[in-house]
Amino acid sequence: MGLRQTRGGSNLGPGRHGDGSGLYLVVDPSGARRWIVRVTIKGQKNRRGGPLRTDFGLGGADVVTLNMARERALEYRRMAKQGLNPRYNTKQDVPTFEEFAQQVHIERLPTWRNPKHGQQWINTLRDYAFPKMGRMPLDSIGQPEVLMCVSLIWTEKHETARRLMQRIKTVLDVARAKGFREGENPVTAIKEAGVLPKVKSKPKHHKAMDWRDVPAFYADLKSRNAMAAKALMFTCLTGSRTGEVLGMRWGEIDFETSVWTCPDERMKTGEEHRVPLTSEMLAIIEPLTAMQSEYVFEGQKRHRPLSNMAMLMLLRRMKIEGATVHGFRSTFRDWAAEAANAPREVAEMSLSHRIGSQVEQAYARSDLLEKRRSLMENWSLFVCGNASNSNF
C-alpha cells in the first residue's frame, strides 16, 4: 500500500516506510522526514559479485511532495534499467574517479570499434590510475594526482602513458560536463606546461620478407594442406591484416563481382574496405565452401575462426626467420613500389591506408577498385611465379 499523500506521512513513526517500487519515506527519531529510492543497476555488481543495489536521496518531505518523489524515483529506476548509475547522471554527491570512470566506460560501450578496444580502455585506468587516485572525489583531482599516475611510466612505457593521460582527460571532461568539476582539465594544463620530458617514440616495424623471396615461400605454402597455410596464402595475396582475414565470413564475399567487403568493425580505419579477388585468391577459398561453416577459415572448433596464432606458428614450423604475418603488407608495398612502379595512392589504398589530408579524404569519392584489381592481379601472378617484375 502506498503512503498517504496528505501531510507527507507526518503521522508515521520513526523508520523506513515503503511506497512501492523501491520508494521509501525515512522518518528519523527527531521527526525529520526524507525520501529515498532503492534501485538495482543493470549490468553492475557489488564487491561480492552480486547485483549492485544503491539508495539515493530524493530530498526532504517538507519540500518534496509524494508525487514529486514518485516522479524522481521513476526517473532513477529508468536510468538503472539502462545500466546508468543515477549518482553519476544527476547532481548528487561527487563520485570517486574510479566509480565515475567505470560509468563513462559503460556509457561509451556502443562507440568502441570492438569489445577488445573497450576493455583495453578501462584496463589502462584500472592498472595505472585507480591504484593512485581511484578513491579520490572527482573535484579534488589536479595536476599532482595525474602526474602521480603518469610519471612513473612516462619513459618506460611511453605509449601506454600517453593513452592513460588521454583517458584520464576524457573522464574528467565528462565529469565537468555533468557538473562534478570546475576549471581547466589538469591533463591539458600538464601538456601545455611541458612538465613531462619529451620522449622520442621509436616506430615499430614488423619484420618482413624480401619480395623477391615470396614466390619460393608461396610454393612451399601451396604444398601444405593445413587451414593455416590457406589463410596465410590468402593473407599474403591480399595484403590484409590478420584479424580481417580470420574474421572473414562467406556473406562478405560477392563471387559474381569477385569482391570481398570487409566490414568497418574489423578494419583499423573504422571504414569498410573492398578487396578485389584474383583468380588465385578465389582458388584458395572456393573449395572451403564445402565445409559449410560461417567462417571462411574455420579453426579446430566447429563454426569458429582460425586462431590468431595459427599463421604465426606455421611460420615458425617452416623455420621462416625475419618475417611476420603482418610483415607481408610491407612486402607487398615494397614490391608495388620497386617492381610494379604502382602509383602511391593505388598501393596505399590496396593496404586500406588513408591517403592525403582530411580535406583530401573528404573529396575522395573513389576507392580505385579497378586500378587496385589490376595491381593485385599482377601481384598474384608474381607470387605464383607466373610473371616477371612487370610495371603497373
Degrees (nearest 5) of the Cα angle 78, 82, 86?
A: 60
- pTM here is 0.54
**Nearest in space to 326 (alpha carbons), one of 266, 261, 236:** 236
Cα separation, 39 vs 119, whole angstroms: 26
Domains and CATH numbers, the chain: 6-87 (3.30.160.390), 97-193 (1.10.150.130), 211-383 (1.10.443.10)
Largest Cα–Cα separation, the chain: 97
Written in H, E and C, the secondary structure of 337-357 is HHCCCCCHHHHHHHCCCCCCC
Distances (CA, A) of 295 to 139, 171, 258, 261, 389: 49, 38, 18, 14, 34
Residues 234 and 272: their CA atoms lie apart, in Å, by 19
What pLDDT is attached to residue 301?
86
Helices (H), the chain: 66-81, 86-89, 97-107, 115-128, 130-133, 143-150, 158-177, 186-193, 214-222, 227-238, 242-246, 279-285, 310-317, 327-338, 344-350, 358-363, 369-383
C-alpha dihedral sign at 338, 343, 348, 350: negative
One-character DSSP codes across 102-121:
HHHHHHTGGGSSSHHHHHHH
What integer pLDDT is reported at residue 135 of this predicted model? 85
Q: Look up cell 570481398; give the residue.
A: 260
Q: Which of 97, 118, 93, 92 is nearest to 106 (CA)?
A: 118
Instruction: With residue 19 as reference, give the H or E element that holds it.
Output: strand 15-20
> What is the distance between the alpha carbons of residues 127 and 389, in angstroms, rounded to a whole number?
51
CA dihedral 360, 364, 369, 372 (to 10 degrees): -20
Q: pLDDT tens digit string along 251-282?
A: 999 999 999 999 988 888 888 999 999 999 99
Q: Which three cell numbers stand for residue 357?
A: 589530408
Backbone angles phi, psi at 338, to 5 degrees: -85, -35
30 class by beta-carbon count within 10 Å (0-12 exposed, 13-18 middle, 19+ buried): exposed
Q: What is the pLDDT of residues 55-89, one digit of tens each?
A: 877 777 766 788 888 988 888 888 888 887 776 66
CB atoms within 10 A of CB 170: 18
Relative orientation angle of helices 227-238 and 327-338, to the nearest 10 degrees:
40
Model pLDDT for residues 322-357, shown as the tens digit of each residue: 899 999 999 999 999 999 999 999 999 999 987 755
Half-sphere exposure of 375 (CA within 13 A, CB side): 27
**Per-residue model confidence (pLDDT) at position 258:** 96
Give the per-residue pLDDT at 10.
59
- Rounded Cα distance, 312 and 22, in Å: 55
Select from 314, 301, 302, 306 the least CA-distant residue to 243: 306
pLDDT in tens, the chain (392 residues): 456 543 445 577 888 898 888 899 988 777 778 888 888 888 877 767 777 788 877 777 766 788 888 988 888 888 888 887 776 666 556 788 998 898 899 888 887 766 777 888 999 999 999 999 988 888 889 999 999 999 989 988 888 999 999 999 999 999 888 777 888 999 999 998 888 988 776 555 678 899 999 999 999 999 999 999 999 999 999 999 999 999 999 999 999 999 999 998 888 888 899 999 999 999 999 999 998 899 999 998 888 999 989 999 999 999 998 899 999 999 999 999 999 999 999 999 999 987 755 544 544 567 899 999 999 999 999 999 876 545 55
